[in-house]
Structure 1
Amino acid sequence: MSYLSSHIQLTMKRILLMLLAVAAISSCKVTNRSGNRQHIYVQKQGREHKTWKLVWQDEFNQPQLDTSRWTRIPPNNAAWGKHMSSNEACYRLDSGLLYLRGIVNPDTVADPRPFLTGGIWSKGKFAFQYGRIEIRAKLEGAQGAWPAMWMLAEQDKYGKYPKNGEIDIMEHLNHDQLIYQTTHSWYTLELKQDKNPPHGGTAKLDPLAFNTFGISWYPDRIEFQLNGKTTFTYPRVQGVDPSQWPYDQPFYILIDQQLGGDWVGKVHPEQLPVQMIVDWVRVYQ
């Protein structure tokens, strides 16, 4: 066999191996990506019956917040958002941990609000439909502290809030030793169908320790979890108003150290600063 023939055969073999590798990778694809930044991850049909695969994560090992993944949440008029701020004093990254801090406002001339607090969201940068999300974090306690991990719809499929739904992975109040895990929608809030089926539950935790909060989200149910154990399940129900299940669209992530509001009560400034310390965020499909 000539050198040229041998070289051609070797080249063809390498090309074939490369094509087989690409085919293998494609066959293992777990998500379909879309959006102007390819930031929307929609789980492939049938994946819910297979082993989870990691598709997106942030370990917070970089010296500054990864702005390709997150944006600091701006203030808004909702009870949870009135003290949100981009002030540097509300954010810190250190040794692989993200600190979201609620503080007494050091400069009420520049900003008249008495308190400032930090939070991040992945709106416009990452959203997913179906899969599993886990967030490992430690929640400090203070009167008026309301740390939350939750999700809202990336796209306006059904109309203004609450028609697109809300998934509260975790909410913690004050110095409680439990968390609230809840779904909200037009069905639960406007039609008052919050017990058909029950739309939320609670779970006990050690507030002094790091815990892993999460959901496993399927086309027919949302399983809420704490430290890997299912604590509450919200099912899709047949034969009721369609607004019961707006959870068939991509949602983005919010992680914020909220302060104040009717539910949590007044903030006690002598108990600030208070922090939510986030170790990592991981999404599987």
Structure 2
Amino acid sequence: MKNLKYLYTFLLLTAVMVVSCQEDDAVIGDIVAPTNLQVMAEIVGVDADHPYGDGSGVVNITATATNAITYKIIGQESQQLSQRGLASIPFTSPNSGIFNYQVVVIAYGTGGISTSTTIEVEVFVDYTPPADLLELLYGDGSKTWRIKSEKAGHFGLGPVGGNIPAEWYGAGPEEKAGVGMYNDRYIFNSDGSFTHITNNTNDDPVTDTSGAVFGRKNLVDELGGPGGGTVDGDDVFNYPYNDYTENWQISAPGGSETITLSGLGFIGYYTGGSHQYKIFDRSAPNEMILTTVDGNGDFSWWFIITSEEPEVDDEFSTIYNDLIWEDTFDVDGAPDPSKWTYDLGTGDNGWGNSESQTYTNNPDNVKIEDGTLKITAKAENGGYTSSRIKTDGIFAFTYGRVEVRAKLPSGGGTWPAIWMLGQNYTTVTWPACGEIDIMEHVGNDQNTIHSTLHYTGNSGGNGIGKTTNVPTASTEFHNYSVEWTPEFIKFLVDDKVYHTFPNNADTPFNADFFLILNVAMGGNFGGAIDPDFTASTLEIDYIKVYQ
């Protein structure tokens, strides 16, 4: 990275030269330009012996203006948005000395109309990041950081200025799974750029820049994304946001190593504010504890990040071995009515997903033949037919292992699923009753297997899910299974775990669920149906439940 220098903590007002380029005091209906823009600069570490600061290069900016809604403060290589007009700007130089820098402050009023002012600050810069810190951040250029979700206290909050990590609240291991934080990745590139990948699981086989992030209500709106996500108290889960690049700098105001991200760059949970992350501790290998103050000035937020990827739980040993229910589909004909019943028709709004099929119990759509259950989606009479069978009201259970040996259909628009629904769905309703999708597949993404959980706050596209690649999903039989306990829900393909969800008493996954097998067509998840589609079949060799 370029020569990086620091700035921070003692505050003393320094003389500034103001060059104003303020617009007229315009009022156009409800569009009001800010007026009376005032900017004050305080260089960190100024005292009688250090009139230009402590060498960290940090300047604290305070801006005020009448009718201002928000402010943008632009420094040497960073810019910060602040609703309160507060920012800490780090300045750097390849050489030690006293330098003149410009700071541009833009005050925004209603309708986006703005007033701007430029000030000059004279700052002493004499900080070079230690080599071991740069080695930690980017090494040979291949380091990628993430929230260390498996460690207690990886995310939390405490009082502003506090020195106890996550003093008031610290998340437990994997507690925030599915909110849009754990699949983010952060790269401190050696050229000074900062890359935030908002979903590292969707870049195979080609890069997909779409993703979602986790943030503070109202503050997350500063990102200017398309909106959406799920509001839960003061949090916003899965706020849609694409990969982006900003810049990063290192400084050490008051002797505290600090990472400053330019623009709207952030780590873990969007809090606005200065976009500065104090390195509280970096003594553990490949790990840092960071803290930042939110844009409201309410809390210090704490994060543990690591440059090591989580261990893959490939070795699996079940705790459930007693077979309590099965169907091996040995008798040709219709599904056994003592085990299965049907959903029929089109449902309301295409079964809630804008699906295109009509479900029937016709043998053309569902039958047992040659030792396998066959559910066939067909194009007929200008539409599509298929089948959905379930154990609703016949068999349900709490906790256990479900194993299904299946070969999946193919074709654009096909959407087979092996899943479970809370037995109390008629009184609690979906998604509060809970849904466990053991296996979902779409023909438009042929080799990708999905496992997903839906419950309150995680419905539709906000479900908590992961994917794995199965190249022969539609040409060979594979084992799709789930291990469901009070502590976790693990999803497997051919006895290999690829998704672990930390279950707890606050989820709906602690009551009876029943089984569902179906093939849908199109809809919100299945996508566009191939105009040449004729028919395709989900084949199931057996389904077994153990406790």
TM tier, smaller: 0.7 to 0.9
**What amino acid does structure 2 have at the position aligned with 1:169?**
I
Secondary structure of the structure 1 residue equivalent to 2:457: helix
Q: Distance in 2 between matches of 1:50 and 1:131?
A: 8
Report the CA distance shift for 1:233/1:269 in structure 2 as closer, same or farther (over 3 A).
same
Residue 87 of structure 1: how far off its partner (Å): 2.2
The 3-state SS of whatever aligns with 1:164 is: coil
**2:376 aligned to 101, 111, 118, which one?**
101
Unaligned residue ranges in structure 2 (runs of 5+): 1-316
The residue type paired with residue 171 of structure 1 is E
> Aligned partners of 1:159, 1:265: CA distance in 2, in Å?
29
Q: Distance in 1 between matches of 2:535 and 2:545?
A: 30
Query: Where in structure 2 are the equivalents of 1:81-160 lying within 5 Å?
Result: 82-105=357-380, 108=381, 114-156=383-425, 159-160=428-429
RMSD after superposition: 2.3
1:29-108 mapped onto 2 (5 Å cutoff): 50-64=319-333, 65-75=335-345, 76-77=347-348, 78=351, 79=353, 80=355, 82-105=357-380, 108=381
2:433 to 156, 164, 168: 164
Sort the Cα spacing of 1:225 and 1:161 in 2 relative to 1 into closer, same or farther, 3 A. Answer: same
Give the whole-Å Cα distance in 2 for the aligned partners of 1:232 and 1:263. 20
Contact residue 318 and residue 483 of structure 2 kept, 8 A: no
State the 1:91 CA deviation: 1.6
C-alpha separation in 1, matches of 2:328 and 2:489? 25
The answer to whether 1:221 aligns with 2:488 is: yes
Cα distance change, pair 102–82 in 1 and its aligned pair in 2 (3 A): closer
Paired amino acid for 2:390 = W
Whole-Å separation in 2 of the counterparts to 1:167 and 1:274: 24
Q: Match of 1:186?
A: 456
Distance (Å, rounded) in 2 between the aligned partners of 1:161 and 1:216:
22
Q: CA deviation at 1:262?
A: 2.4
**Equivalent residues of 2:356, 2:523 under 8 A apart:** no
Q: If each structure's helix is expressed as a fraction of its own residues, which one has the higher value?
A: 1
Q: Secondary structure at the residue paired with 2:526? A: coil
Q: Which has the higher contact order (CA 8 A, sep 6+)?
A: 1
Partner letter of residue 224 of structure 1?
A: F
Instruction: Note if contact 2:320-2:401 (Cα within 8 Å) is conserved in structure 1.
Output: no
Report deviation, 1:269: 4.7
1:262-273 map, 5 Å: 262-273=524-535
CA 1:265–1:217: 2 relative to 1, 3 Å:
same
**Cα deviation 1:21-46 (Å, max 9, x = unaligned):** xxxxxxxxxxxxxxxxxxxxxxxxxx
Following the alignment from structure 2 to structure 1, what is the Cα–Cα distance between the partners of residues 467 and 486?
23
Contact 1:83-1:259 within 8 A present in 2 as well: no
Whole-angstrom distance in 2 between the partners of 1:167 and 1:253:
9
TM-superposed CA distance for 1:156, in Å, is 4.5
2:422 and 2:541 map into 1 onto residues whose CA distance is: 24
CA positional deviation for 1:72: 2.5
> What secondary structure, in the 3-state scheme, does the structure 2 residue paired with 1:263 have?
helix
Within 5 A, what are the aligned runs for 1:200-219? 200-205=465-470, 206-207=472-473, 208-219=475-486
Shift in Å at residue 187 of structure 1? 3.0
How far residue 50 of structure 1 moved from its aligned partner, in angstroms, is: 4.8
1:231 CA drift (Å): 1.1
Is residue 247 from structure 1 mapped to residue 509 from structure 2 by the alignment? yes
Secondary structure class of the residue paired with 2:519: strand
Higher CA-based Rg:
2
Q: C-alpha separation between the residues in 2 aligned to 1:276 and 1:246?
A: 29
Q: Cα distance 1:270–1:82, how it changes in 2: closer, same or farther (>3 A)?
A: closer
CA 1:217–1:81 in 2, change beyond 3 Å: closer, same or farther?
A: farther
Q: Kindly provide the CA deviation profile for residues 50-75 of structure 1, in whole angstroms up to 9, marking residues without a partner as x.
A: 55111100000012210100013212
Q: Please, what TM-score do these two structures have when normalized by structure 2?
A: 0.38
Listed one character per residue, the Cα deviations across residues 70-118 of structure 1 (whole Å, up to 9, x for unaligned) are: 013212122258422222211232111111000112xx4xxxx711012
Residue 280 of structure 1: CA displacement?
0.3
Q: Residues 157 and 249 of structure 1 are in contact (CA less than 8 Å); yes or no, is this contact kept in structure 2?
A: no
| Equivalent residues, number | 222
Aligned to 1:280: 542
Q: Which moved more, 1:125-134 or 1:228-237?
A: 228-237
Other-structure match for 2:519: 257
Task: Give 1:193 deviation, angstroms.
Answer: 7.6
Q: Is the 8 A contact 1:84 1:117 kept in 2?
A: yes
1:104·1:269 contact (CA, 8 Å) conserved in 2? no
SS class of match (2:411): coil
CA distance in 1, matches of 2:366, 2:459: 33
Q: Percent identity?
A: 28
Matching residue's letter, 1:204: N
Q: Which residue of 1 aligns with 2:499?
A: 232
What's the secondary structure of 1:262's corresponding residue? helix
> How far has the Cα of 1:155 moved from its partner?
2.1
Bigger proportion of residues as strand: 2
For the 8 Å contact 2:320–2:546, the answer to whether it is kept is no
Q: Which runs of 5+ in 1 are unaligned?
A: 1-47
The one-letter code sitting in structure 2 at the alignment partner of 1:235 is P
| Distance 1:103-1:203 versus aligned 2 partners, 3 A rule | same
Give, as a single letter, the amino acid of the residue that structure 1 aligns with 2:511: Q
